[in-house]
Structure 1
Amino acid sequence: MSDPHAGLHSEQGALPGEHPGRVRDPIIKAHDLAWLEFTKPDLRKAEEFGTAFGFTTALRTDSELQLRGTDPGAPCVLIRKGPRERFLGPAFRAADGRDVLRLADVAGVSLDRLPESIGGVGATVTDPSGLPVRVVADMHDLPALPAQTPLTINAGTSTTRVNALQRPAREPARVRRLGHVVIQTTRYREVLDWYLRHLGLIVSDFLFYPGQRERGPVMSFIRCDRGSVPSDHHTLALTLGPANRYVHSAYQVADLDALAAGGEYLLDHGYRRSWGIGRHIQGSQLFDYWRDPDGFLVEHFTDGDLFDCTLEPGWAPMTASGLAQWGPPATNDFLGVRPAELIAVARGLREDNEFDLHRLRGMLKVATS
C-alpha cells in the first residue's frame, strides 16, 4: 500500500523561476506577531471560553477584553464589544519605534499612541485585500505568569523519571503565547508580496494545487526574519480562497499532555472540537482545533519547527491528507466545507481576482484528496 504522505514534505525546493519566498531590502523586518483584534457582541461569553481555552484575563471593562498568555509581553487577543463577531486584523511587533516610524513614513500613514493599558506606538497600514495591519513597538510588557511545566518523559532508553507517576490534571491548557494567524485572500500573490516587502517576512513553505504548479502557489507559511535567531516556522499563513477572511489562529501550550488534557476539559464544558489531535507536516506542530462560541477557529499547538534565515522555502502539493502526518482525517468543518463558503465561492467567481474556475477545481480536489 502506498504512503499517502510520500513526497509531501518540505525538503523539496523551488524549480527555476519560481517565487523566491523573500524580497531584497524590505521596508522593515517584523520581530513577531503581537496580538489579534476582534469585535464580539458578548464579552462575558468570550471570556468564559477564553478561560476554558487557557487564557488569563489581562483587562476587562464593559467595552473591552484583553486576554494574555503566561509569557511576558503584550496580550494575545484584544476584543472590543461590537454588534457582531468580526476579525479586525493582526498587530505585528517591530524591533523598535524607529521601524514603526520608517513604515509609517513609507506608507504615508500617521504614527499613533497606543492605549495606555498597552503603551507604546503603532502605525496601521492596509494590505491589498483591505485588511488593517498594525505594526507596534515599545509597549509595556506584562510580567510572566506561572506556566505549566512540561512533563518529564521516559522515552526510548531514557529513564529520567523514576519512582514518580504521571497524573496530568484535566484542566485548561495554559496558553503561553500567540503563535500564528492564517488568513484567506482572493488576491493571494499580491498580498503575499506585500507582507514580504512591508514586514520583511520570509516563506518557509509553499503549497500548490495538484496539477497546477505552473500557475504558482496558493498557500504560503511565512516566518519572521530574525537573522540567525530561530523563529516559528510560520507567524502568518496566507491561502487563496473565494473570500477575504480570518481562517484560524494558534496558541502555544506546554506539551502534548497539556494539549490533550486541556481538550478534554473543553469537551467537558460543552465546547466543540473542529479537528485533532494530530501532527502537522508543514511546521510539524502537534495540534488541536476548536470553535469558540462565535464560530472563530482557534488552535492549541506545541512542538513546532523553528527556522533561522538561511532555510529556503519548501514546495509541496496541497492535499487534505497532506495536512497531517498522523491524526484523524481533516474534517469538513476545518476545511471550510460549509454553506457560507459555498456562497462565497459563487460571489468570488463573479469578481476580478485570482480565484477562478481553475482554482476552484483545484480547491475541490484538495477537499476530496
Structure 2
Amino acid sequence: MSNHHDPHRGLHSEQGALTGEHPGRAAEPIVKVHDLAWLEFEKPDLAKAELFARAFGFTTALRTPDELQLRGADPGAPCVLIRRGERSAFLGPAFRAADSADVLRLAEATGRRAVKLPESLGGLAVDLADPSGLRVRVVADTHELSALPAQEPLRFNFGHDTPRANATQRPVREPAKVQRLGHVVWQSTKYRETLDWYLRHLGLIVSDFLHYPGQRDRGPVMSFLRCDRGGEPADHHTLALALGPANRYVHSAYQVADLDALAAGGEYLRDHGYHHSWGIGRHIQGSQLFDYWRDPDGFMVEHFSDGDLFDNTLEPGWAPMTASGLAQWGPPATKDFLGVKPGPQVLRELRTMLGALRQDNEFDFGRLRGLLKVATS
C-alpha cells in the first residue's frame, strides 16, 4: 500500500456547487458574445514590441508610426492592437458579438452609443466600463483577415498506435506560430460585482470557481468564464477574473499547434534572451498545456495548446485556490508568476495591498490572509 501523498487530491473541479452558491450564469443576459476579438495595449516602443511579437509567433497585420496590429494564422480580426503611448498600459479587451444587432441592443441597454470602428478594422463597436473601471469593447462585422499557412501538428506514435514509420521527429527551433487569441485574465478589487456584470451584460458563463482555502462560505475569489454558444463547445475560459488588491491585467494566452510547437518556440525565445516566467506544464482548470513569458514591457503572455472545450450544459466546478493546484504536472509555480518575486514590482504590490485594505472593496483582511495562504500552499 502506497503512502504517497497526492497534492492534487481535492483540487480538481469536477465537484459542483453547494446549495445557495453562485449559479455561474445570468438568467436573462443582454447579449451573448461569441468570442474574444482582440486585446488593446499602449506602449512607447513599437519596434521593440514588434520584435518580441515575431519571436513569440505573431504576424504583423498592420504597421504605422502609431499603431501595430498583430495577428495569428487563423482567419479573423487581429489578436492584439498596440498603439504608441508615453507609457505601457493594458487598455482593455474587445469581445465579438454575434452581429451588429447585438451591439446596438447592448448600447441601448447601457445608454452608450455604438460607433463605427476605424477602416483598418471595420465594423461597429460599443464601449462599456466594467465595475473595476476596465474599458470593455464589444464589436461586430469587423473585417475578416484570411487564414495564413498553419504550423501543422506533428504526427505521433502513441503506444501501439504507430502511424509514423520510416520518419523521424525533428521539430525546428523557431517561433511557435500563434493560431489565435485564447483568453485574458483580469484582477479586480470588486470581483463579485465585476463577475455579475460580465454574466449579465455579455452572457458569459462560469466553467470553474475557485475559493480561498477555508473560506468557501465567503464565496469564490476566482472564476473562469466561457462564451455561451449553446450546443457548440467553446474554450473553457475566454475571460478569467480574480479578486486582488488592485485592478490590473494578469496575463493573456495564445494558442499554438501542439506541445512541440510550444516547447521549441520557447527555446527560440530563450535563445533570444526573453524572460521566461513559468512552464512547461498542464493546468487543472482548462487542462491546457502552458508556457508563460514576459514581453519587454513586463506583460505576461502564454503559449497554450490542448485546452478544454465545454458547451452550455456543463455547470461550474468548485475547488480551493492553491499554488500547487495551478498545474497537474510541471515545475512549481515561480515567484515571478505568483507576483512575489523580490523587486520593485513586489514593493508596488505591497503598497497597493495596504491601500486596498483602507478602501471599501471586497479585498479585506480576511481575503488578504486567504491570498497569503494560497502563495504558500
Per the alignment, residue 357 of structure 1 pairs with 365
Q: Deviations over 1:17-74 (max 9, x none)?
A: 0000001110000000000000000000000000000000000000000000000000
Instruction: Give the structure 2 partner of residue 268 of structure 1.
Output: 271
Work out the CA distance in 1 between the residues paired with 2:174 and 2:359.
47
Match of 1:10 in 2: 13
For residue 339 of structure 1, report the CA deviation from its aligned partner.
2.3
- Map 1:170-189 to 2 at 5 A: 170-189=173-192
Q: CA deviation at 1:340?
A: 2.2
**Other-structure match for 1:344:** 352
Which amino acid is 1:57 matched to?
T
- For residues 226-273 of structure 1, the C-alpha deviation after alignment (integer angstroms, 9 at most, x for no partner) is 000000000000000000000000000000000000000000000011
State how far apart, in whole Å, the 2-side matches of 1:306 and 1:212 are: 29
Q: What is aligned with 2:251?
A: 248
Cα distance in structure 2, aligned partners of 1:273 and 1:98? 43
Quote the Cα distance in structure 1 between the aligned partners of 2:323 and 2:236.
20
CA distance in 2, matches of 1:147, 1:224: 25
**Equivalent residue runs for 1:16-165 within 5 Å:** 16-165=19-168
C-alpha RMSD of the superposition: 0.5
* Cα offset, 1:193, TM superposition: 0.1
- In the alignment, the residues of structure 1 paired with residue 365 and residue 170 of structure 2 have an alpha-carbon distance, to the nearest angstrom, of 53
- 1:156 offset after TM fit, Å? 1.6
User: How far has the Cα of 1:347 moved from its partner?
Assistant: 1.2
Aligned partners of 1:89, 1:347: CA distance in 2, in Å?
23
Displacement of 1:344: 1.3
**Distance in 2 between the 1:339 and 1:221 partners?**
28
Moved over 3 A (4+): none
- Give % identity: 77
Q: Deviations over 1:161-218 (max 9, x none)?
A: 0101101000000000000000000000000000000000000000000000000000
Q: How many Å separate the matches in 1 of 2:275 and 2:128?
A: 35
Cα drift, residue 2 of structure 1: 1.2
1:139-175 Cα distance to aligned partner (Å, 9 max, x none):
1100000010000000121011010110100000000
Displacement after TM superposition at 1:343 (Å): 1.7
> Unpaired segments of 5 or more residues in structure 1?
none
C-alpha deviation, 1:341, in angstroms: 1.5
Corresponding letter in the other structure for 2:292: Y
Equivalent-residue separation in structure 1 for 2:11 and 2:232 (angstroms): 27
**1: CA distance, partners of 2:213 / 2:176:** 37
- Give me the TM-score of the superposition, normalised by structure 1: 1.00
CA distance in 2 between counterparts of 1:344 and 1:265 reads: 35
Q: Deviations over 1:62-114 (max 9, x none)?
A: 00000000000000000000000000000000000000000000000011100
For 2:254, the aligned partner's letter is Y
The residue that corresponds to 1:316 in the other structure is: 319
Mapped pair 1:298 → 2:306? no
Name the amino acid aligned to 2:366: H
Q: Secondary structure at 1:343's aligned position in 2?
A: helix
